[in-house]
Amino acid sequence: MPVRKAKAVWEGGLRQGKGVMELESQAFKGAYSYPSRFEEGEGTNPEELIAAAHAGCFSMALAASLEREGFPPKRVSTEARVHLEMVEGKPTITRIELITEAEVPGITPEKFQEIAQAAKEGCPVSRALGGVKEITLEARLA
């Protein structure tokens, strides 16, 4: 499997500095700063990119799991919310909430929940983020 790459360049000190993160594919390039990460300033931040990666990975994992179980979905839409909080004086990702909605013909709500939970556990990004204390899932059928 291929190795995926991204890079970031930071210039200056923590509070007055600024940076740019970009994907090797050039599909994304975004500015980030102290205010965009720890306040409500303009620009992106690493946690937002983690949220995008987790939402994308989980949506694909759920679609694959549903299809494998005989319930190919019409659509899977996921939002990931990454919580950055101070823990023992250090910024820490403490929780990630996955909120997903899927259109899946012919599936029961119980079977959908079972498959969604298994997809959350098996998603490569969920597994990579195993150090996060809590990853929750709210899954609903459309």
Closest C-alpha to 134, from 102, 104, 94: 94
Residues spanned by the domain of 19: 6-38
Q: Rounded to 5 degrees, what are φ and ψ at 12?
A: 95, -175
94 in any annotated domain? yes
pTM for this entry? 0.94
Per-residue pLDDT tens listing for the chain (142 residues)? 899 999 999 999 999 999 999 999 999 999 999 999 999 999 999 999 999 999 999 999 999 999 999 999 999 999 999 999 999 999 999 999 999 999 999 999 999 999 999 999 999 999 999 889 899 999 999 9
CA distance 75 to 5: 28
Say how many domains are in the chain: 2
Q: Could you tell me the CATH number of the domain that includes residue 68?
A: 3.30.300.20
Same domain, 22 and 51: no
The reply to whether 56 falls in a domain is: yes
Four-residue CA torsion sign, 11, 12, 14, 17: negative
